[in-house]
Structure 1
Amino acid sequence: MFQEPTPELFSSSPPAPAATTGSRKVKRPPPITPKRFTRFFTPRNSKNASSRTSLSSSGRQLQDITREAINRSNATQRSTPRKTVNFVDVENQMQTPQSSSRKRKNPYLSPESSPAQSSPSKRSRYVTPPPFEILEDVAAIEQPPVYPAPIRKLKTLGGASRTLQRSFGGILSVGRGFRRDHCSSWQDQTADFYSSSDDMHLLPQGAPPFCTASCNTNSLVAVGDEDGYIHLLDSEGDFSKAHVSWKAHSNAIMDMQFSSDDMYLAAGSGDQTAQIVDVRTQQTLAVLAKHKSSVKQVRFQPSDDKIVATSSRDGAVQIWDLRCKGGHMSVHSAWGSDAPYASVIRTLASAHADTNLAATSGTAASITRTSSNTKSENISRRNDISVTALSFLPQGRQHLLLTASDASTCVKLWDIRGRYSLRGPAIPISTTSHPESHNRHRHFAINSLTLNGDASRLYALSKDNTVYAYSTSHLILGVAPELSTASSSKQKYCQVGQEGLGPIYGFRHQNFHAGSFYVKASLRKATQDQPELLAVGSTDGCPVLFPTDERFLRRESHQHPQDDDADELPSLNRVTTRRSSSRLSLSRSSTNSRCPDTIPIYEHGTPLIRGHDAEVTSVSWAKNGSLISVSDDFRVRRWTEGSMARQLRIGGESEGKRWQCGWAVTGEGYDDDE
């Protein structure tokens, strides 16, 4: 039967030991009693706790676990993720609520080391930080911007400034020159040229020099005269005596050029032939005889000295291969049948003839052309227009050839690999446009073509006393596979008839006049600290130097008229009459009467005066950077750079220091002391 439990079972005192005898099972206290159950779930208060020793083992373990929370009691408050325990300071933030159960007669709080914890089943409470005051910055007082004072440009540069410039590596050095900080002018490149009495070579009377050419690898210079003689001079040694002279042609030598290794010299003559000479032995290696008139120019192909191009007054351009021998049809009366004739591999017949002519038989024809000002004019053209200038493009595009004529200022581009018809005028790949001022007035001839160092600019010396600068990339508008270095060498037919742009700017000077076809131009390539310079001859009796650096051109003012009023012509077109020659007067009168220019024209040239007394025809640059000029006064001049140029300008005529000397003319105040 069921018996009621005795009070001893619910007592907290330990039970009495069971009897060892007289019972079947040992009586043990139950594992969970009502008192133990209530005590386990009742919160504890550390203030009521007597000591650590009175705590049970589980209480001591819980106290040890939560002891580290004391170090975080003063830490800054921060938000915690949801459903996590947020320990806060017990005294300052919140207190543990008292138990409302009546069974808990002696409630107590948890110890100080054990902060109150929220129930894991409830969301954590976020503590809102107290509001704080936002301080605004004091408004700054607006002050006007302060700009640095501009650098004052020096009007002139003396010897000390030029010495400092050279010590920096010259104006061509990257980032170290004076061009970028506006402390130099274009005159610094041309002001130091002079020629002393020892820098002159006098040719025999009766045979004025017509042309000159410089070697590519040494200091020798060749001069050709009217009698057909070639003179080799040393530009670094004694210039008054010729190194060697020999008779190469029976007529005047019009043009010369050395091969790339200076082993051969090509010379074109008025006897309608050209020849290739061995410079070491002065022996003729090949004779180029197929032209019907005087040979105007002769040029070696870059990177291949076996290919030569010649132009003539007969209007044809001949391409020669020195490795092929000519037949009996090439025999010329001036050389006989035993001469080593070369063979022609390509002929550009009537290269600059007007393709609009009705007749192409060589007789004169007339066409009517309407100009931009609606004025009709009759222009007579021959089919055999003289080809006055030749120029190959550099290596990589050496199959492209540029030509100019005495009929207009247009430049034509040819591909010597293509096949051209012999029945009529050859059609070029491209033809540049005429300058607008020429279309409104009349066309002028071109005497010389010169490419700069990287072949990006083409300089054409025109008989209107202007050197026009063309962009090589503008020779053809649009896509130009012919100008690409990757063009196929197996091209059979050329794409012809394309249009190119006209010149982009020009050079003029009051001392530069091209009164004859013998006035030529030459360009010195930039090497080491020597800048690129363009030299031209002149009918005024003095060579003229033009710096080609286009960064100087941007700082120079130029004339750009906007209307056709004759009173608005640029002042640089109004040249003064200095000679009584009828040929020069005719040239200047035509210059004054032409229409205004529509492109920038720059006049920053430097004339080299007192070196010659007659027309300076041809110029060339020696290997060492000195300029060689020839004139109708039978003199060959060598112009070098040095401080003597300034002394000749400011020294005056005393003591005969200027006797047989020449020097560069600079602007007013250039030689003033700093």
Structure 2
Amino acid sequence: MRSLLTPHQSNFFRTSRGVARTLKKSPFLVNTPSITEEPQPDNELANYAPRPIRKFGNRGVASQLLNREHGLGYSTGQTYLHTPACDPRAETARFHSRCIDSYECLTPSGSRTIPFCLTSTHNAPVTAVGDEEGCVRFFDTSPNDDPNEEKDLGVHSVHDNAIWDMDFSQDDMRLATTAGDAALIMDVTTKSIAARLADGHYNSTRQIAWQKGQSIGNVLTTSDKAGRIRLWDLRCPHSHVRSFSTISSSETGRRTVTVRDETIRPFQASTVNTLDNTHERTAHGKTSPASVTAIQWLPAGREHLLLSASEAEAVVKLWDLRYINRRHQDKSTPLSATTVPSNHAWRSYGITSLSLSSDAARMYAVCKDNTIYAYSMSHLMLGHAPELKDLATKRRPIAAQGLGPLYGFKHDSFAARTFFVKCRMRPKGLSHSSDLLAVGSSESSVVLFPTDERYLRSACAQRAHLLDPPGSAPTPSRSFSSAAGTEPTSSTIPIFRNGTALVHGHQREVSNVSWSYDGKLVSASDDSIVRQWQEDEARARYFRQIGDFGGERYMAGWADVSSDWDDEDDE
């Protein structure tokens, strides 16, 4: 049979079968001249610096609204269609305070007295105020439009000197107070003293807090100026069954209160554990105890763990109070301690207050360097840390090393010049879907910081197209309402300025803040004023725009946001 393949096709199949890979005298072969590459110098890439890629600038609300209409996602992490823009002012711009929302603290003789501390009940619109005269005042935070209605629910003399701290038990039946002379437990129903925590502290106590979890109203802790932390149990050994008022529920669900027997003398509570020299300072080669300025219990499931901070340095320590120290041990050992912030290399700054997020995933510390630092609770102990799990077994403390802060908050109206400046977290509730951190300030204002990290991602996205100079500190965000400032180049901690100041409510340092059970904010200042802040978008906008003419905002306060926030959408 005659072959139908051409000579060239025949050569192709021979080559594909590996018979002959070199075709001689083929007209289809092209002689390609060999290219000799020049040798590259070894140091050609030594000085090469890649040029950073600049991102497109964030185009703001208009761009995000357009993306929402097109059904596109958001690079800033915001996924809620009803809130197309991640603007933290959406959570803070509604706060305001009217003239009738303020209360002036006066002594029986009519002179002013300074409120030192605040604490709110968990189930009623009542806030307790402790002043420098040793009195406890109960302040009504319920909605009120009548200027003649009295906010003061009663004044009770408890201590002989200034009250430093107070805390309500979870059932609101007991109020713990601490002052320079001693710590006391007040029975709230009868307004009488039921227990004393007098022995065990060599210096005046500074902080007091009830334990969370199952032992509500029985176990609490105190701290003093000598670095000592003591754990108290009111159930042993001298308490009487009628020492406190109690609440009981019947089979029908009706709650009845058994009133305390006031003929019983206040008993002395017992100490079940003591931590000595928890914080120390070193100066000129000498070490001395430091005052414990902040303590914070962890929530139920980890209620045996306690956080503490001091005036000496920006270090937070974690303690397991189930571990009993040996008697001959002069210094207690914590489970872990955080690392000092990198910008504190040349000077130490103390911590004035601690607060936890609602899910206990973040811890916030108010530092004397005018910064609120945010820590990850998972990073308090590096490596395997079974001590941080819920219902963990007791282990011997090893003073493990934890990480430093993740980031920090700053604001032009925030300053912590004294250790009286405190913070308080508003947890998530029915009327609010995210946490909100309120902080006092030496600049005569309260500053609110939304802690939802979607706002931080949004702030980073707005500056992602800007290139930081080499060696500069990362400063991913600037305030919406304040001018951009220069951050210290020695810091490697990202600083965010997304807070909002509540202005014109006080004339002197705002030392303490507290959240009521229904989300209202109460602040206390050295001007002897206790003020309640409420949320109403229309009224807050009215106070910002009306001006001082006519006196309509006399003794009123409002959230200080830029004027563009109050502009109408159709303008």
Over aligned residues, Cα RMSD in angstroms? Answer: 3.1
User: Take 1:151 and 1:571, find their aligned partners in 2: how far apart are those partners?
Assistant: 13
Is 1:291 aligned with 2:201?
A: yes
1:292 Cα offset (Å) = 1.6
The one-letter code of the counterpart of 1:553 is L
The one-letter code of the counterpart of 2:130 is G
**Residues 538 and 339 (structure 1), Cα distance of their counterparts in 2 relative to 1, 3 Å cut:** same
> Deviation above 4 Å: which 4+ runs of structure 1?
174-177, 237-240, 558-566, 568-573, 591-595
3-state SS of 1:299 partner = strand
Matches within 5 A, 1:337-486: 339-353=266-280, 366-367=284-285, 381-382=287-288, 384-423=289-328, 424-438=330-344, 440-486=345-391
Partners of 1:294 and 1:313 within 8 A in 2: yes
- Which whole-Å deviations, capped at 9, do the CAs of 1:417-447 have from their partners, x for residues lacking one? 0021343110101011011111x22110000
Structure 2 residue aligned with 1:518: 420
Structure 1 residue aligned with 2:262: none
Identity %: 40
| Mean Cα deviation higher: 202-211 or 515-524 | 202-211
| Mean Cα deviation higher: 527-536 or 601-610 | 527-536
Is 1:555 aligned with 2:449?
A: no
Structure 2 residue aligned with 1:663: 558
1:653 Cα offset (Å) = 1.5
3-state SS of 2:218 partner = strand
Structure 1 residue aligned with 2:408: 506
1:672 Cα offset (Å) = 1.0
Is 1:495 aligned with 2:397?
A: yes
Is 1:244 aligned with 2:154?
A: yes
User: Take 2:79 and 2:488, find their aligned partners in 1: how far apart are those partners?
Assistant: 43
Partners of 2:141 and 2:151 within 8 A in 1: no
3-state SS of 1:154 partner = helix
Partners of 1:459 and 1:469 within 8 A in 2: yes
The one-letter code of the counterpart of 2:413 is N
- Which whole-Å deviations, capped at 9, do the CAs of 1:567-621 have from their partners, x for residues lacking one? x999989xx9xxxxxxxxxxxxxx9996632111001110011100000000001
- Which whole-Å deviations, capped at 9, do the CAs of 1:522-551 have from their partners, x for residues lacking one? 010111241311000000100000000101
1:152 Cα offset (Å) = 6.2
Match of 2:140 among 224, 229, 234: 234
Partners of 1:441 and 1:594 within 8 A in 2: no
1:624 Cα offset (Å) = 1.6
Matches within 5 A, 1:73-88: none
Matches within 5 A, 1:80-479: 153-154=60-61, 176-179=80-83, 181=84, 183-204=85-106, 205-237=111-143, 240-271=150-181, 273-289=182-198, 290-303=200-213, 304=215, 305-325=217-237, 339-353=266-280, 366-367=284-285, 381-382=287-288, 384-423=289-328, 424-438=330-344, 440-479=345-384
The one-letter code of the counterpart of 2:96 is Y
- Which whole-Å deviations, capped at 9, do the CAs of 1:310-347 have from their partners, x for residues lacking one? 011011000001112479xxxxxxxxxx6411111100
3-state SS of 1:660 partner = coil
Unmatched segments (≥5 aa) in structure 2: 1-56, 66-77, 240-264
1:270 Cα offset (Å) = 1.9
Partners of 2:350 and 2:367 within 8 A in 1: yes
The one-letter code of the counterpart of 1:236 is S
Partners of 2:292 and 2:310 within 8 A in 1: yes
User: Take 2:467 and 2:190, find their aligned partners in 1: how far apart are those partners?
Assistant: 55
Higher relative contact order (CA 8 A, sep 6+): 2
Partners of 1:561 and 1:598 within 8 A in 2: no
**Residues 195 and 560 (structure 1), Cα distance of their counterparts in 2 relative to 1, 3 Å cut:** farther
Matches within 5 A, 1:49-64: none
Partners of 1:393 and 1:455 within 8 A in 2: yes
With structure 1 as the length reference, what TM-score do the two structures score?
A: 0.64
User: Take 1:151 and 1:353, find their aligned partners in 2: how far apart are those partners?
Assistant: 47
1:654 Cα offset (Å) = 2.1
**Residues 569 and 459 (structure 1), Cα distance of their counterparts in 2 relative to 1, 3 Å cut:** closer
**Residues 499 and 227 (structure 1), Cα distance of their counterparts in 2 relative to 1, 3 Å cut:** same
1:233 Cα offset (Å) = 1.1
Partners of 1:441 and 1:595 within 8 A in 2: no
Partners of 1:191 and 1:665 within 8 A in 2: yes
1:639 Cα offset (Å) = 0.4
Partners of 1:386 and 1:405 within 8 A in 2: yes
The one-letter code of the counterpart of 1:269 is A
Structure 2 residue aligned with 1:145: none
The one-letter code of the counterpart of 2:235 is R
User: Take 1:606 and 1:261, find their aligned partners in 2: how far apart are those partners?
Assistant: 33
**Residues 646 and 416 (structure 1), Cα distance of their counterparts in 2 relative to 1, 3 Å cut:** same
3-state SS of 1:297 partner = strand
Structure 2 residue aligned with 1:628: 522
Count of residue pairs the alignment pairs up: 456
User: Take 1:455 and 1:461, find their aligned partners in 2: how far apart are those partners?
Assistant: 17
- Which whole-Å deviations, capped at 9, do the CAs of 1:260-303 have from their partners, x for residues lacking one? 111101111122x1111111111111111121222111011112
User: Take 2:275 and 2:221, find their aligned partners in 1: how far apart are those partners?
Assistant: 11
Partners of 2:294 and 2:352 within 8 A in 1: yes
**Residues 278 and 561 (structure 1), Cα distance of their counterparts in 2 relative to 1, 3 Å cut:** farther
| Mean Cα deviation higher: 539-548 or 228-237 | 228-237
The one-letter code of the counterpart of 2:500 is T
3-state SS of 1:323 partner = coil
Structure 1 residue aligned with 2:543: 648
User: Take 2:311 and 2:468, find their aligned partners in 1: how far apart are those partners?
Assistant: 28
3-state SS of 1:650 partner = helix
3-state SS of 2:61 partner = coil
Unmatched segments (≥5 aa) in structure 1: 1-149, 162-173, 328-337, 358-364, 368-379, 577-590
